[in-house]
């Protein structure tokens, strides 16, 4: 008996760069907590530092890729259909090295384009005003003139350098012992437009861990942010149970698990790779 089902039409992907913030916000708001950093980057202050690519099917966006400018490796965020993400990474957003953040199912989009380093899964956690639980501690706001103290603390755990303007534009709290800054937490990005923020740069000096200092400074930053934001998010490695427990004490909940991988673009990739090799050999520059 012959089948009566009609053949499905082939899906045609179209990819292009975009600076349409309305389109991007509508797409990213489909999962506001997962896309929190990208949504914050739509603010006027951050947007000029970004590049965006979109994949469409029949005119409707199915994938978005964000590259945040700066020194390599750049942060790259991916969201949506895996095939569309791969097409954008091949033809529109093409960093040589990047820290790519995406869901586990997005990793195949990198195949044949990037060499992907191993990494631990990440947990996106979030809190709002009803769920937030303050944590007591002798904390205070870190002032811009104290940027040197903050940088000295951070260099003990992960090399970092923050200018005083980062403390003016962001929110940083610390704990001092005998005049020495021993614990701090701050912000990665804040969106006044979306009423959304991301906590980061949480660190306690190794000699002072296990005393609740990280929870106290994170709680102080979160409390300050929730005065103007509807939700606050943060990232933590899935293999860091003490940090997960500390954030849960503040009322943070797990939203989703994702991957954050260092990637390096493969030299030979795409339909013109073979032609490129042939031309180099023809002109005597190949092996």
HSE value, Cβ hemisphere, 13 Å, CA-based, for 194: 30
Question: Residue ranges of the alpha helices (H) in the chain?
Answer: 21-28, 36-40, 44-47, 82-91, 147-157, 164-169, 213-225, 241-249, 273-282
HSE value, Cβ hemisphere, 13 Å, CA-based, for 10: 3
Is 229 within 8 Å of 197 (Cβ atoms)? yes
pLDDT tens sequence across 11-44:
789 999 999 999 999 999 999 999 999 999 999 9
**Taking the domains of the chain in order of start, what are their residue ranges?**
14-121+261-266, 132-250
Of the pLDDT bands very low, low, confident and very high (cuts 50, 70, 90), residue 161 is confident
pLDDT tens sequence across 210-262:
999 999 999 999 999 999 999 999 999 999 999 999 999 999 999 999 999 99
Q: What is the pTM of this model?
A: 0.86
Kindly report the length of the chain: 287
Q: Which helix (H) or strand (E) holds 174?
A: strand 173-177
Are 14-121+261-266 and 132-250 equal in CATH topology?
yes
What does each C-alpha distance from 118 to 77, 85, 99, 267, 283 come to in angstroms? 17, 20, 12, 20, 38
pLDDT score of 269 more than 90: no
CA 119 to chain centre: 15
- The CATH code of domain 14-121+261-266 reads 3.40.630
CATH architecture label of 132-250: 3-Layer(aba) Sandwich (3.40)
């Amino acid at each position: 008996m012959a089948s009566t089902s009609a053949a499905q039409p082939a899906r045609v992907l179209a990819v292009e760069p975009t600076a349409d913030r309305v389109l991007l916000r509508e797409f990213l708001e489909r999962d506001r907590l997962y896309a929190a950093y990208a949504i914050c980057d739509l603010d006027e202050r951050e947007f000029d530092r970004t590049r965006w690519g979109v994949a469409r099917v029949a005119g409707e966006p199915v994938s978005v890729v964000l590259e945040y400018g700066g020194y390599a490796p750049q942060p790259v965020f991916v969201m949506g259909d895996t095939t569309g993400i791969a097409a954008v990474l091949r033809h529109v957003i093409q960093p040589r090295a990047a820290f790519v953040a995406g869901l586990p199912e997005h990793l195949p989009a990198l195949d044949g384009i990037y060499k992907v380093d191993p990494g631990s899964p990440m947990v996106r956690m979030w809190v709002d005003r009803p769920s937030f639980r303050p944590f007591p501690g002798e904390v205070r706001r870190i002032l811009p003139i104290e940027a040197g103290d903050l940088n000295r603390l951070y260099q003990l755990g992960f090399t970092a350098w923050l200018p005083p303007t980062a403390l003016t534009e962001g929110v940083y709290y610390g704990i001092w012992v005998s005049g020495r800054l021993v614990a701090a937490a701050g912000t990665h990005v804040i969106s006044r437009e979306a009423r959304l923020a991301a906590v980061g740069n949480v660190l306690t000096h190794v000699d002072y861990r296990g005393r609740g200092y990280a929870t106290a400074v994170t709680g102080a930053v979160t409390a300050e942010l929730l005065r103007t934001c509807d939700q606050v998010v943060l990232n933590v490695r899935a293999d860091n149970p003490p940090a997960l427990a500390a954030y849960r004490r503040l009322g943070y909940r797990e939203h989703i698990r994702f991957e954050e991988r260092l990637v390096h673009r493969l030299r030979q990739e795409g339909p013109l790779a073979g032609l490129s090799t042939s031309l180099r050999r023809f002109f005597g520059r190949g092996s």
